Structure 1
Amino acid sequence: MYDTLKRLYDTGRATAAGLQRATANGWITPEEFTEITGQAYTPPEVNKYGLTPEQDAAYQQEVVDDIVRASKEGI
């Protein structure tokens, strides 16, 4: 995984924020994050459910989409 993420980062197809999430998910170590980006790794902010703000927003959008779909279907 390290080689793939390094290649993606070096070619501009992955961002430091993306690599931060990959590190939080255990795909690479904090040391590997620093090797790839040249930046110190800091864990992302998470809410009480362990979700980052991006994950929480995506989840909330899914809930809204489910409600809208259910109302259209008369459920």
Structure 2
Amino acid sequence: MNWFERKIRRYEHRRWTTDDNRRVQPFHWGLEHIGGSPNGPNPRVFLREYARNAIEHSADWFAASPATDYHLDREN
């Protein structure tokens, strides 16, 4: 274990032991959260294609629709 990894582990352990309200949750990330199948035949190919598509269409990927829930006037 290198120095950086040890430092991160100590930091995370200290955070974990000092928080009385911390709950362990199952790890819920998987391909199904990005439109894939958790039981697909080749998850690596799906993930590679997903990443390639996100990079090729990064302008759309990071685009935000205009906000309609507030109004700015000249005084702001």
TM over 0.5: no
Q: Which has the higher helix share?
A: 1
Q: Name which structure has the greater RCO, CA cutoff 8 Å, separation 6+.
A: 1
Instruction: Compare CA radii of gyration and give the structure with the larger one.
Output: 2
TM-score by length of 1: 0.28
TM-score by length of 2: 0.28
